[in-house]
Structure 1
Amino acid sequence: MNEENVVDAFNNGGIIAYPTEAVFGLGCDPDNEESLKHLLALKQRSAEKGLILLAGNYSQLLPYIDDSKIPQDKRFTMLSRWPDGITQLVPKNSNISPLLSGKFDTIAVRITSQPDVVALCKQTNKPIVSTSANLSGQEPAKTWQTLDPVLSKQVDFIIEGVTLGHSSPSKIMHALTGKVIRT
């Protein structure tokens, strides 16, 4: 991975295809409204659904969540579920773009150990938006070589890394209630 180019693409509002735990994701800078709109249009995804933020550590998520609404015991449980494989719905910061949270009062977040993502998040000191690299309703790509050719031509950077080999996309659960939304 050419780290300088991927960081430039991220900082300049580009859409990046990258490996996650199980599938390839598409993402961008969560603070760039135009990038978020472009990503949703590219995916043909409804803005009401919201998006996931993928980070290398918890501190990168703090600007996007309302940590004060997470009781200490729930925070401990939430953090113990990471890294990898579990996306958690947490109270959102009221200042974030509604494109990140959709119609919800929570935001979906996950901490990963996927090295390419961790490196990008470390260099930008931000999480990256994460949604599967496919058009809505189609199967997500598991390798960069199997990315949809239409999508491949429309992204600004492809990280040619490998997933962590998980068999299915992340489980989604509510961090405070433990309710599973997607298995």
Structure 2
Amino acid sequence: MDPETDEVLDAVGPRLRALRRARGITLTDLAHRTGVSESTLSRLESGQRRATLELLLPLARVYDIPLDDLVGAPRTGDPRIHLKPIRRAGMIFVPLSRQPGGVHAFKMIIPAQPKPLEPTPQTHDGFEWLYVLNGRLRLIVGDRDLILPPGEAAEFDTSLPHWLGSADGAAVELLILFGLNGIRAHVRPDHRENARPSP
């Protein structure tokens, strides 16, 4: 085997462990969802067992990411990025960053609402940063109720009660950065919503 292939395969275990922890999934949960034993998953993550297609395919399905991204396969020269939207709580998140762990970037789309939604502020550990691309965003953070037009940005501690929505019922598009806890709170996979057809 060539050194580049060895290097990719050696990095699979730590990558899988980081991805599982970033998603907030235990080995027990993962074993239940994939049908792969907990001990096999543990050995795979620690590098004591070599990754095989038979082991990686169920993991790619559970994590809902392409197999190449799961193992960190080298690029084949095709510059296209195949983005897969995540639907969550009536919003659409398009992942723009590809590595497990750390801060993740998303394009977030709040669809047009014929009737304004009642704000339901939530809290979680972490932080968020956002930049409005199109539309008018209503942002509630703590006791502040703000309207952000295109070109405005905000950053806030998500341990404060916060809520994002359309200011006028029209669609809103924004760029958003989440720390790991923000990813778990907002874009953890919800297979029922992911299964719905695109509008």
Q: Which structure has the greater CA radius of gyration? A: 2
TM-score relative to the length of structure 1: 0.26
TM-score relative to the length of structure 2: 0.25
Greater strand proportion: 2
